[in-house]
Amino acid sequence: MNPEGINIILHIVGARPQFIKLAPVVQAFQDLSIPYKVLHTGQHYDYTMSDLHFDSLGLKAPDYHLGITSDSHARQTALMLQGIEDVLIKETPKMVLVYGDTNSTLAGALAAVKLGIKVGHVEAGVRSYDRKMPEEINRIVADHVSNHHFCPTRNAVNILKTEGIEGILTGDVMYDALLRVRQEDLKHPYTGDYVLVTIHRAENTDNQEKFLAIWEALKRISRRIPVIFPVHPRTRNKFAHVLADTGSHVDVIDPVSYFTMLAMIRDTRCMITDSGGVQKEAFLLGAPCVTIRDTTEWPETVHSGANRLVATDPDTIVNAVLTMMDMKVINTNNPFGDGHASRKIAEFIKDHCP
């Protein structure tokens, strides 16, 4: 046991979106001289999904790396619980901070609360209302065992209120991260018009019929305009034979750095995704978006007209993309805060968690 650990906040992350959220928060911690350590579960372990983003975001190597990689949800979460518990017993932090909605979020929150350690949830109150999504279960459980709930939007605060939880409106730390990026760092190698794609959610990649329908839509779109598809390692592993289709004009590439991805989103004619974070980034960067899901945890992007939800039907996807390609996204009302969410979180912890 580390007697000095009682003074630290332990940040628990494990997936690419969490590294992005972590960067501005730890910067705010440094600015306010709040002691902290970082635990990386290893949930995203491929270099292109992990170390590449730590490097590009200027994050130092995590203090703990559990090395827990892909497995079933139950096995992965169980291994995380065991590994996180060992670190918590060693460090005895005064609070654990978890981010978003991954298995790392769930395991971090559960391990801490079982040991009587306070939990803060960054991006609390977000709901898709689709309990078939593992992420929805993770975020609900994390919220209901957390002590402090840092909400990215007013809608998230209102949702928590209906569940009997008091949320703290901070704004979205992903918006903070985006604002920290220098424009000169936003570069990519593509010229001319293109459509950009990210598909990785279990609902689309664990169902072969759905993925093949999406792939058919991408092939059709690629006959009209270049389609660029940075492929998540898990998606590539499951559908390598499909992605190697020589009859396709889709440019299948490895995942890219955070800065490169932002630049590509900014310049795309239309974003096609099933990612929650990418929906927000497209909205904030002024790119029209087609989300291949039945529901979204970011209804603000849909209500603005900048994002459109579609089913996994090739005709529906193609028609939606062709329509959205000609749309101009004008964000006159940004629901994601003022770019100081990380500072507000750090100030709250400094003031209320001495």
CB count in 10 Å sphere of residue 125: 27
Question: CA 188, CA 265: separation in Å to the nearest integer?
Answer: 10
Q: Domains in the chain: how many in total?
A: 2
Amino acid found at 218: L
Question: How confident is the model over 133-156, as a mean pLDDT?
Answer: 97
Question: CA 254, CA 46: separation in Å to the nearest integer?
Answer: 11
Q: 188 or 43: whose pLDDT is higher?
A: 188
Are residue 223 and residue 154 in the same domain, yes or no?
no
Mean pLDDT of the chain: 92
Are residue 216 and residue 250 in the same domain, yes or no?
yes
Quote the DSSP letter at residue 197.
E
Q: What is the pLDDT of residues 153-174, one digit of tens each?
A: 999 999 999 999 999 999 999 9
| Nearest Cα to Cα of residue 44 among 78, 75, 76 | 76
Answer yes or no: is pLDDT of 330 > 80: no
Question: CA 226, CA 219: separation in Å to the nearest integer?
Answer: 10
The catalytically annotated residue of 65, 200, 340, 352 is 200
CATH code at 247?
A: 3.40.50.2000
> Phi, psi (5° rounding) for residue 273?
-155, 165
* 306 half-sphere exposure, CB direction, 13 A CA radius: 23
Task: Answer whether residue 102 is part of any domain.
Answer: yes
Q: What is the pLDDT of residues 225-272, one digit of tens each?
A: 999 999 988 899 899 999 998 777 999 999 998 999 999 999 999 999
Question: How confident is the model over 308-313, as a mean pLDDT?
Answer: 97
Q: What is the pLDDT of residues 13-53, one digit of tens each?
A: 998 899 999 999 999 999 999 999 999 999 755 544 446 65
At residue 280 the predicted structure's pLDDT band, cuts being 50, 70 and 90, is very high
Are residue 91 and residue 129 in the same domain, yes or no?
yes
Contact between 264 and 287 (Cβ < 8 Å): no
Contact between 229 and 252 (Cβ < 8 Å): yes
Task: Find the domain containing 120 and state its range.
Answer: 3-172+337-352
| Residue 352: active-site member | no
pLDDT for residue 329 = 81
Are residue 221 and residue 290 in the same domain, yes or no?
yes
Q: Which residues pair with 148 in a beta bridge?
A: 120
